[in-house]
Homo-oligomer: A and B are copies of this chain.
Amino acid sequence: MLKLRFLPLLTLLFCQNSQAELRATGDLGVVIERAKGSALIINTSKRSILAKIDSLGDLSHASVVFSRDQRYAFIFGRDGGLSKIDLLQDKVEKRIIQAGNSIGGAISQDGQLIAVSNYTPGGVKIFSTKTLQLVADIPAEYGENKLSKVVGLVDAPNHQFVFTLFDAGEIWVVNIKNPKTIDIKKYKNIGNQPYDALLTPDGRYYIAGLFGEQGLALLDLWNPEKGIKRILPDYGKDDEKLPVYKMPHLEGWAVAGDFMLIPAIGQHEVLVIDKRQWTLVKRIPVIGQPVFVMARPDGRHIWVNFAFPDNQNIQIIDAKTMAIVKSLTPGKAVLHMEFTPRGEEVWVSVRDENQLIVYDTESFKEKKRLPAEKPSGIFFSSRAHQLGL
C-alpha cells in the first residue's frame, strides 16, 4: 500500500520525458551540415532546432526524402550511405552503406520502397523503407557489360521510378508494382552526357539536361510510346560563353502556372519556357550564374540563388511581370532555399556564415537566424506528400 501511494508521482516523474516527446511531424525538417557529416532536425512553426544527428558519413552531396507518415527521414550520402532518421526520437533508426558512391534517391508513391542512384557500381538499388533490406538491384548495364553512372532518379505515379544513365545516354522507366518481376522500359540515344533530370510537379514530364550537347531530352509519361523528344535546341553549355562554375540543379527548376523558369547554364540569365509548346519566351537578366530557381508554392514569386563568385546573393522574380522585384544578400555561399508548405516563409542556408536565415516571403524581411555548421540542403517533411521529390 505504501508503494502504491507513490506510484502516480513516480509515473509522472519518469513519464515526463516521453510526454515531452509528444510531437507532430507536419512542420519538421532536416538540414544537412555538409562538413561535419551531421544533420539538424528543425521545426518550422517554432523556427527552432530540435536536435542534431551525427555520424552520417560524407554529406558533401546529400539529399533527403520522407516516409509517407513523415516520421522518418532517409538521407542519401555521397559515400553510398543510406541513413534512416527517426524524427520523433531524434536518433538514427538504421544506417547502411549500400554502394561506393551515390548521388541521390527517391521514395515510391506508396511509401513502401526507397530507391538509390549510384555512380559506383553504376545502377539503382531498391530497399524496403521499413527494414532497409535490399528488394531489387538494377545494374545500369550498357554496351559491352559496362556500367553507367545513374542520375536524375525520381518517383512517378503508378509505382514507377524514372532515372537517367549518364555514360550511356539512356532514360529508364522502372515499374516496381511487383518487385519480383520488375518491368524496365529503356529509351536509348537521348543525347550526350545527361547530367541531371527533373519531373514536373504533376508527375507527367521527365526532362533530362545534357552536358555534352545542347538541348534537353523530354519524356511525356502520359505518352511514353512517343519516346524522347528533344526540346530547347539552343539550351545548354556553350563553350564560347562564360566558364561554368557550377552545373545548375534541375530539381530546382520552377513551374509557375503555364511557365517553367530554368537557369541558363554559364550565363547570367533565367530562362522562361512556355510549358505548352516547350518554347523559350523570355530571358531574365540576373546578377550571376543561377543554381536553384525555385517557385514559392503559390507560383507568384520565384527565388534564385547563384554560383561562385556571386553566391552571396538571392534575387526574386515576380511571375506576374517576369521581372526582378527584390534582391537580397544573406551572406557568403547561399547554397539552398526551402519554402514552408504554404509559402509564407523560406529557409535559406548560408554555408560560410554558418547560418540558417528565415525570411517572410511577402515583406522579404528576415524573421530569424539559427546557427548551423556549414549548412547545405534544407528539406521539409511536407515533401512526403509531393511527387518527384
Residues in A lying within 8 Å of B, measured CB to CB: 3, 6-7, 10-11, 14-15, 18-19, 21-22, 24-27, 43-45, 66-71, 87-89, 109-111, 157-159, 177, 202-204, 222-223, 257-258, 276, 297-300, 320, 340-345, 362, 381-382, 384-387
Contacts and interface: CB of A to CB of B under 8 A. Distances in A.
Q: How many copies does the complex hold?
A: 2
Contacts of A14: 7, 10-11, 14-15
Contacts of A19: 18
A379 to B, nearest CB: 14
A146 to B, nearest CB: 34
A89 B19 CA distance: 11
Given A69-B45, A202-B298, A88 B343 contact: no
Given A26-B68, A222-B320, 20 more contacts: A10-B10, A11-B11, A24-B24, A24-B69, A25-B25, A26-B381, A27-B68, A27-B70, A45-B68, A68-B340, A109-B343, A157-B344, A157-B362, A177-B362, A202-B299, A204-B257, A204-B299, A223-B320, A342-B386, A343-B387
Given A25-B25, A362-B158, A341 B384 contact: yes
10 contacts: A3-B3, A24-B70, A26-B69, A45-B111, A109-B344, A110-B345, A157-B344, A202-B299, A204-B300, A342-B386
Contact of A258 (B43, B276, B382): B276
A11 B7 contact: no
Contact of A222 (B69, B300, B341): B300
A24 B157 CA distance: 24
A9 to B, nearest CB: 11
A158 B381 CA distance: 22
Contact of A88 (B24, B27, B69, B203): B24
4 closest Cβ pairs, A-B complex: A26-B70, A341-B385, A24-B71, A11-B14
Nearest to A15: B15
Nearest to A13: B11
A357 B111 CA distance: 20
A269 to B, nearest CB: 24
Contact of A26 (B15, B21, B26): B26
A42 to B, nearest CB: 13
B26 A25 contact: yes
Contact of A343 (B43, B69, B157, B300): B157
A381 B24 CA distance: 11
